[in-house]
Amino acid sequence: MKQKPTNPERNRIPAGIGEADLIKGIEKSGYPLQSVVADRLAKRGFYVTEEWGYSDRDSGDTRSLDVLASSDLIFDRRATVVPGLVVMIECKKSEHPYIFFRMVTQPDMFWFPSVFGLPHGGVSLWEKNPSKNPERHEIVSASRALGLSELPFVSQGPERAASFSQAIPQAKRVDLSGADAFNNLVLPLSKAADHARSVYGHAHSPDNSCVFARAALSVALLDAPMILIEGPDRVPEPIYTPWVRIVRQEPNLDRVSGDTPFRHYGIDAVHIDFFDEYLEKHLSPFAQEFARRSEKLGDVFLYGGEVPSLDSWSWNEIRKWSGAPARLSP
């Protein structure tokens, strides 16, 4: 093993540990994968933090996520909104395959992805209908207000899975361990997402004239075989897949008035060899459209909006609330 010129003589691995075994252990740990991912993101212009610290929502202990990457998509000091991305990544390298079980139902994805940074956590909408008094009012998620679920990244994205496991060889059989897969991927990413919500949740300019809207994505980056089971009747026909979206629902324990009783998490499990394609062909076009729509609804983020009917509306029907104050020119 090489050494620095200043290395002291006793700084050596003990005789019981072979150099080849040590290197193999390091490679299996996933740390090199973390560095590769951080380097790729930094070269694409992201601001990257390795070992991003977050507070465990259950224990309160400080833990760390492998990589957090953030980026301003557009920055204009005259604008009412500065859209951006926050990508939270946990890396895992393993010889043991991950098995994903395709959801048999297709629940709506109006909540995906989470958007942090709005003044009240969502978008206030009023129904502009002169025949109704009083006017109806509702607070919706920013992802719903922006119509993000209709974009290909969501509507035509990967297969969705509510459960997954890791295949662990045991003598002459293979066991599936759902607990290990959950604890090593879903749990840290969901807890990091909760902490990121508190960090980026109410970011705005000092004079409240601009909001920093952040589309937040959670990614499980895997250097391991990824296998999809497409249905209960398709178990004998597993298929390799490089991208699966894990959908998880949890009770909203911090619920306040107006909140939904559940909190949803979407985690993209992506194979490392598909990561560049995921960024270039899927995430980047989505981010550009997210930025465009956010710019168009900047005043709505700040002051609220109006729609013809709260029972049925689309994002491009939203107009700035007529009761909002006039914005001063910069």
What pLDDT score does 181 carry? 81
pLDDT band at 148 (very low <50, low <70, confident <90, very high): very high
Two structure tokens written together for 107: 């629940």
pLDDT (tens digit per residue) in 280-295: 999 999 999 999 999 9
Per-residue pLDDT at 74 exceeds 50: yes
pTM listed for this prediction: 0.85
Per-residue pLDDT at 329 exceeds 50: no
- As a whole number of angstroms, the distance between CA 42 and CA 292 comes to 23
Angle among Cα 245, 253, 165 to the nearest 5 degrees reads 30
Per residue, the 3-state secondary structure of 161-187, as one string, reads: EEEEEEEEEECCEEEEEHHHHHHHHHH
Q: How far is CA 12 from the centre of its chain?
A: 41
Question: In whole angstroms, how far apart are CA 134 and each of 125, 252, 303, 305?
Answer: 14, 30, 19, 16
pLDDT band at 176 (very low <50, low <70, confident <90, very high): confident
Per-residue pLDDT at 244 exceeds 90: yes
DSSP secondary structure string for all residues of 284-296: HHHHHHHHHHHHH
- As a whole number of angstroms, the distance between CA 80 and CA 145 comes to 16
Per-residue pLDDT at 204 exceeds 80: no
The residues spanned by each domain of the chain are 21-320
What pLDDT score does 203 carry? 54
Cβ 216 vs Cβ 116: under 8 Å: yes
pLDDT band at 208 (very low <50, low <70, confident <90, very high): low
